[in-house]
Amino acid sequence: MKFGLSLVLMLAVTPSIAEPAAGVAYLHDTSVEERPLSMSIWYPSEEKASATIGGNPVFKGVSATRDAQFPKGALPLVVVSHGGLRSATDSGAWLSSSIAQAGYVVVELNGPRPDNAAIALNEIWQRPQDIHRAIDLVQADATWGPRIDESKVSVVGFALGATAALSVAGAKMDVDEYMRSCATGSESEGPDCGWYAAQGVTLSETSQEGVAGLARDPRVTSVIAINPEYPAVLGSIAEEVGALRIYLGTPEAAGGGDQADRSVVIPDASIFDAFAVCTPAGPDILAAEDGDSSICGVSAETRESIHLETARAVISFLRDHSE
């Protein structure tokens, strides 16, 4: 599982271009015309980095080795669903690459980015569908199917992606309560309510059939939910599914509460720390575009430390559930 790499290398957020880095490849599916799905596939590698993935003027990318040789044997599968409605492609690359170097095949989902609030409404049930679909596609693929241990399938989600992860683990959603989530004073109010309101969109316009159709995926054996959105409208997950909740910030600040699941709290973090480390110019670019420069956090060093702690917690949990 460790492939000769030290823990430091396995959990490095941005390894040097001269150091070993996770392998990366891509799988695209256009069978659903209105929702094409792009998947970044990460896996263990001891080859030197040859590319940078997920970088842009605001966020630093992650070193990777394109089409590196795959290690022998089938490995557990981990699906990563980043939660930001308007997140860039490969926003979770910092975590996906670290998990891969610990001995897993990691599929990071990059679905279509909603152009407006009306389109984004149905992400609440489309994200779980993306997870089901990704597992189908990878297991059926001639190249990747034989490389996956189908008995060990986990999902890691951030924010709305965490809500999706809990859904595929069997957590039922109270549809009526969800539809009221943006009402003033609602316990289940979500972080995008202001964005919806500014565009004259209400959650009552969400496809009730889509939300009601959310269902557990029996192939998923464990889930990791990082600051799930709308936690007050979700029921318990299936008893046979292992679960870890990670709170970037206190559980109360993250919208959590008393949960029976195993949990890890990183009190000095925030949900913004689910994003990559910012470039030196990142805060100024965000400010110039009327964005929120606090997305970049306190400092690059602080965010790297939070990423390291998060990756350690995720990998430790995965190992406990993939032995």
Annotated domain spans of the chain: 7-320
- Could you list the pLDDT tens digit for every one of the 323 residues in the chain? 333 333 333 333 444 456 899 999 999 999 999 899 999 999 999 999 999 999 999 999 999 999 899 999 999 999 999 887 767 789 999 999 999 999 999 999 998 888 889 999 999 999 999 999 999 999 999 999 999 999 999 999 999 999 999 999 999 999 998 988 888 666 567 788 888 999 999 999 999 899 988 999 999 999 999 999 998 899 999 999 999 999 999 776 555 544 546 899 999 999 999 999 999 999 999 988 877 888 999 999 999 999 999 999 999 999 998 76
Which DSSP helix (H) or strand (E) runs through 140? helix 123-140
State the pLDDT at residue 162: 95
Taking the CA atoms of 57, 60, 63 and 67 in sequence, report the sign of the dihedral they define.
negative
* Secondary structure (3-state) at 84: coil
Instruction: Write the CA distances from 33 to 27, 30, 45, 78, integer angstroms.
Output: 16, 6, 34, 25
Q: What is the CATH number of domain 7-320?
A: 3.40.50.1820
Residue 100: C-alpha distances to residues 5, 21, 150, 311 (Å): 12, 9, 16, 11
pLDDT of residue 153: 98
Task: Answer whether 228's CB lies under 8 Å from 191's CB.
Answer: no
Distance CA 131, CA 108 (A): 10
d(CA 242, CA 220): 9
Residue with tokens 């992400």: 123
List the beta bridge partners of residue 262: 244
Q: Are 106 and 43 a contacting pair, CB within 8 Å? A: yes
